[in-house]
Amino acid sequence: MTSEVVENEFEFYSKAEKYWKDVPATVDGMLGGYGHISSIDINSSKKFLQRFLRDGPNRTGTTRALDCGAGIGRITKRLLLPLFKTVDMVDVTEDFLTKARSYLGEEGRRVRNYFCCGLQDFSPEPNSYDVIWIQWVIGHLTDNHLSDFLKRCRAGLRPNGIVVIKDNMAQEGVIMDDVDSSVCRDLDVVRKIIRRAGLHLLAEERQENFPDEIYHVYTFAMR
């Protein structure tokens, strides 16, 4: 649990904000020097997401998506804008959202809102999103804040909407990273937080073809 590794909550958040302020507003910066894995990541995410967007009575809509921890808009540009009519972005670092406006190009006109806010303080507009995509950012929230944020995400979904988390998973327990002030949880801890938020897991998948030296990455879909 994060309560065992996060000694000072205020410091945990402010140190992370400071860390990201010094990160270059590039794809390589967003991916911690692993910019070369971006296409592998996006292609896998697209396959994962499209199974929910196919025809059927419980099909997830394609009207509006929310990109959480959006950075400069890598996922918005290559995954969400090609599939959804409009996208909203939320990130704690203002410089990244400023950069997104040029990085997204013409298609960026379909980004309705750029929210500059930490997810611990952010509330998605109720009943508004078909997909809420949360990637490589849950480590910056304490367990309680993550659970509360997921509850707010649940309220933000339209009928048949889904919340997706894609993130690093530890082998066991919760590991603190003092460099960027984040935690990495194991699968059981993440599943427990998802259940605590009142969400039901629909699918879970391990990312393939990532470098051996990085954490295992898993994608979860829930509603």
Which tokens go with 104? 């997204």
Which tokens go with 146? 């993550």
3-state secondary structure at position 129: strand
CB 74 within 8 A of CB 108: no
3-state secondary structure at position 66: strand
Beta strands in the chain (DSSP E): 64-68, 86-91, 111-116, 129-135, 157-169, 174-177, 182-185, 201-206, 216-222
- How far apart, in whole angstroms, are the C-alpha atoms of residue 217 and residue 106? 31
Nearest CA to 96 out of 182, 10, 15, 22 is that of 22
- How far apart, in whole angstroms, are the C-alpha atoms of residue 159 and residue 156? 10
Is 93 labeled as ligand-binding?
yes
Is 120 labeled as ligand-binding?
yes
Side chain identity at residue 195, one-letter code = R
Nearest CA to 165 out of 198, 204, 130, 192 is that of 204
Which tokens go with 43? 């292609």
Query: Domain 2-222 is in which class?
Result: alpha beta
Annotated domain spans of the chain: 2-222
Is 92 labeled as ligand-binding?
yes
3-state secondary structure at position 186: strand
What is the DSSP code (8-state) at residue 212? T
Angle in degrees, CA 191, 195, 200, rounded to 5:
95
At which residue do the structure tokens 């530890």 appear?
Answer: 170
pLDDT tens for the chain, residues 1 to 223: 788 899 999 999 999 999 999 999 999 999 999 999 999 999 999 999 999 998 788 899 999 999 999 999 999 999 999 999 999 999 999 999 999 999 999 999 999 999 999 999 999 999 999 999 999 999 999 999 999 999 999 999 999 999 999 999 999 999 999 999 999 999 999 999 999 999 999 999 999 999 999 999 999 999 9
Instruction: Give 203-206's long-range contacts (Cβ < 8 A, gap of 24+).
Output: 203/48, 203/51, 205/44, 205/48
Q: Cα-Cα-Cα-Cα dihedral of 192, 197, 201, 203, to 10°?
A: -90
* Amino acid 65: pLDDT: 98
Is 76 labeled as ligand-binding?
no
Is 188 labeled as ligand-binding?
no
What is the DSSP code (8-state) at residue 139? G
* Amino acid 57: pLDDT: 84
Angle in degrees, CA 125, 194, 30, rounded to 5:
70
The reported pTM is 0.97
